[in-house]
Amino acid sequence: MTIVREGYPFIGACFLLTLLFGFGVHPYAAIVPFVVMLYFCYFFRNPRRMIVQDASAILSPADGTVQEVVDFERDPDEFVPGACKKVIIFMSVFDVHVNRSPMDGEIKLQKYFCGRFRPAYKDEVGFVNEHHLIGLENERLRITVKQIAGILARRIVSWVTMDDVLKQGELYGMIRFGSCLEVVMPAADVDVLVQPGEKVTGGKTILGRIKENA
């Protein structure tokens, strides 16, 4: 297991506070910054995962819990054609927060919206909260993945840009401190295999399966 670079400033600051309080104040005073440092090491973890490549599968982009599966007539971002299914995944502050590409594809759409920081479980957060969306396209399918900031998540991190080509399961970003993701898939081409309340693992759990005639 490794730690992503975005965690280094948090871990380093807590380490310095631990030394400062431990030697300059009292050893007991160092307990709080030391515990916080351990939490940051835990939060910014990037566990090694063997990704089984499956061209017919749409993998979960994150660890968390399926909050909702929504049917709607058209993609509001006008990228996914026709009627769509949206899977919303909630990530608690204890889940792994690095995000992975659900499928092989090229980034053909990228949007960033600097919005509010409402709780990630609210219905409208995908529209009013700060979010970052990418649209992935390959020879079979178009999908979108949206990272949404929550009440504690104050920064969305992206390591990709337009026209980048991602492999299935490849890391492409993270959200700091609790948040959610939305995956939009064409209803005519994908069978959704998860249900609300189900635990999912990034790069492992299959959210949907591409239909044979797609």
Catalytic residue numbers, as ranges: 179
Which structure tokens are listed for 199?
A: 């635990």
178: left (phi over 0), alpha (psi -120 to 50) or beta: left
Q: How far apart are CA 74 and CA 85, in angstroms?
A: 9
What residues contact 54, with CB distance under 8 A and at least 6 apart? 168, 206
CA 21 to chain centre: 35
Q: How far apart are CA 170 and CA 183, in angstroms?
A: 16
Strand partners, 85: 71, 185
**Pairing between β-strand 45-46 and β-strand 2-3 as defined by DSSP bridges:** antiparallel
